[in-house]
Amino acid sequence: MTAIVEAAPAKINLALHVRRRRADGYHEIETLFAFLTDGDVLTVEQSDRDRFMVTGPFAGALAVDGGNLVLAARDAFGAAFGAGAPLSITLDKRLPVASGIGGGSADAAAMLRVLARMRGIAPDDPRLIACAAGLGADVPACLSGRAALGRGTGTELEPVESLAGTPVLLVNPGVAVSTAAVFRAWDGCDRGALDKGDMLGIARTGRNDLEGPARQIAPAIDAVLDALATQPGVLLSRMSGSGATCFALFENVAARGAAAAAIGSAQPDWWLLESALA
């Protein structure tokens, strides 16, 4: 079988409203998911035995055993659809780990898409979506890879018209932040629902309720947000997910490039990615 190469695009939350903490320990949220044209890359091919390898600039931060979401996705698919042939899997880890841009969730979703294609499973098969939901709250959104409003724990999805082609700059100060720790630090105050309207309008009138607690845990986020907000041509800047990665949408590619050059020069140790909305 020819190797299947599958993109695992980065996810950003253009807005993220935390509404309440549930009795089961999860949180009810309303979020606006968007996806980028860049991210990790998964390569899968049939083999004589199961193999898993991680390459790329952030390979050292990931487990290569049962704790990796790619392997968890493989096993969840096998439990739902039956075990398949042994596979050789290579994950090119280009996105920072524990950074609020859905890297692990995107990787798991990419694995599910590959397996579904190999086995002739429809992408909207309820069993496949259930596999995704069982792996994490962001995985169903990453499975579809389309701009959407997410409700409930983030798994109830309503597609929205995307801002495809909008230039995006991601910036991470080199700090990993625990999602669980950020949610625990949330103050429990419901500040209201997302507004109605077009995608950019909803994002601009929205907020990220996890930004405050994330900034307490990782004060370096303050400097990133300040650096992005002051760049010419910014349409919107905000922290994504539970941090520490922040993003800015730009009016045009030239403005994004100028911002990347300025921030990269001032903070050479920060991670930057110039991309666009898908």
Question: Which domains, ranges and CATH numbers included, belong to the chain?
Answer: 4-159 (3.30.230.10), 167-276 (3.30.70.890)
DSSP strand pairing (167-172 vs 246-250): antiparallel
Q: How many CA atoms lie within 13 A of 78 on its CB side?
A: 11
The amino acid sitting at 114 is V
| Distance in angstroms (rounded) separating the CA atoms of residues 102 and 141 | 10
Span 198-222, pLDDT tens digits: 999 999 999 999 999 999 999 999 9
pLDDT computed for residue 66 by the predictor:
63
Dihedral angle sign, alpha carbons of residues 214, 186, 14, 129? positive
Nearest to 245 by CA among 103, 129, 121, 135: 103
Span 155-164, pLDDT tens digits: 999 999 999 9
Residues in the chain with pLDDT values less than 50: none
Cβ atoms of residues 34 and 277 within 8 Å: yes
- Supply the DSSP symbol for 277: B
| Distance in angstroms (rounded) separating the CA atoms of residues 148 and 141 | 8
pLDDT computed for residue 64 by the predictor:
73
Known catalytic residues are: 11, 138
| Distance in angstroms (rounded) separating the CA atoms of residues 114 and 78 | 13
pLDDT computed for residue 25 by the predictor:
85
Q: What counts of helices (H) and strands (E) characterise the chain?
A: 9, 10
